[in-house]
Structure 1
């Protein structure tokens, strides 16, 4: 495992940054430490159908979990101005206020699986198997930080275990490039095999009629 220090700027989406890192560099890893604050926190509590959203001057207490090109599973705890502690599953739309410093542990390779039973006459070392390169996801989703329809679109894809690439619209340059590509001004924007299919409603319709199953 090797370590990587990251400094996040105001307005960056905490979850999207880690997912983008994993996708762009094809790496997996864990969050080892974090210091910083948030202007907005979105987190899913157990048994709730929709994420909770807090806004204000929010201090990050902990961020734990793992990330990979297939997605991220991260738990966030934070304190509000009254020192009340909140926490849950980290969702998109969690935005950095003044800054955040992350310490990440990146895995050099996937951990090999040990056999369920060990033969005392055989060596105990397990030879790692070669890892095939990941194919480029057929689905791309362009999202705006804090957009609830974007969050729902991503939730559909994750519930079906469909690999997808996230494009976070965090600059005018990114927005203009997407507008030229899709001719859309609303988000999310969903692309399949490079072609735009529409937004959340179009994705939900494909989910309803079972057309998304072939993308697993």
Structure 2
């Protein structure tokens, strides 16, 4: 494992900075440590509903999770001025107040570059390529939920550019468009995603 330091200045978006780091390193890794504070925090609690956004002076207590070329999956805990502790999935829009210093452990061997989504109607991708491709946009809560579901289930996936006319997320299995988050969740509920691991 190779340690990679990340120093963020005021106004930096914590989530997006780690997404950029994962893409730049082109290898999976883990957040090893963090010290810093935030002026705004966007986080997703378990269950339905969109992200919660708080503004103020918040001290980061912990940040755990994975970083890689396909995205991030991060859990944040932080405290407010009354030492009340909050936590959940880190979302875009969490802004650094004065500064934040992070250490990310990146695996020595780089991961293969992302593969584009196959065209509709094409046969399944060649061996070693993900059968699932997904198009997302930053800040979209349903995109974040779909990515979280795929990561939690351990399903390999490639990130692709969204179709201009469509909403996100856009999910493709073996090159065939199946729909968005609801369609993915329905297939998960029927147990149809386990074969994609």
TM-score range, shorter chain: 0.5 to 0.7
RMSD: 3.7
Where does residue 49 of structure 1 map in the other structure?
A: 47
1:56 Cα deviation after fit: 1.6
Report SS of the residue matched to 1:204: helix
Is contact 1:144–1:188 with CA below 8 Å preserved after alignment? no
Mapping of 1:19-38 within 5 angstroms?
19=19, 21-23=21-23, 25-38=26-39
Residue 178 (structure 1) aligned with residue 176 (structure 2): no
Q: Deviations over 1:134-190 (max 9, x none)?
A: 555433241432x432343234323422123457xxxxxxxxx6343xx21x33232
Larger Rg: 1
Where does residue 155 of structure 2 map in the other structure?
A: 162
Residue 40 (structure 1) aligned with residue 38 (structure 2): no
Q: Deviations over 1:66-108 (max 9, x none)?
A: 424487564422233x434223343334522657533223345
Report SS of the residue matched to 2:182: helix
Residue 199 (structure 1) aligned with residue 180 (structure 2): yes
Report SS of the residue matched to 2:162: helix
- 5+ unaligned residues in a row in structure 2: which ranges? 113-127
Work out the CA distance in 1 between the residues paired with 2:43 and 2:59.
12
Work out the CA distance in 1 between the residues paired with 2:189 and 2:180.
14
TM-score of the superposition, structure 2-length normalised?
A: 0.64
Where does residue 174 of structure 1 map in the other structure?
A: none
Work out the CA distance in 1 between the residues paired with 2:162 and 2:110.
31
Aligned residues: 177
- 5+ unaligned residues in a row in structure 1: which ranges? 110-130, 168-176
Work out the CA distance in 2 between the residues paired with 1:32 and 1:60.
14
Report SS of the residue matched to 2:193: helix
Report SS of the residue matched to 1:211: coil
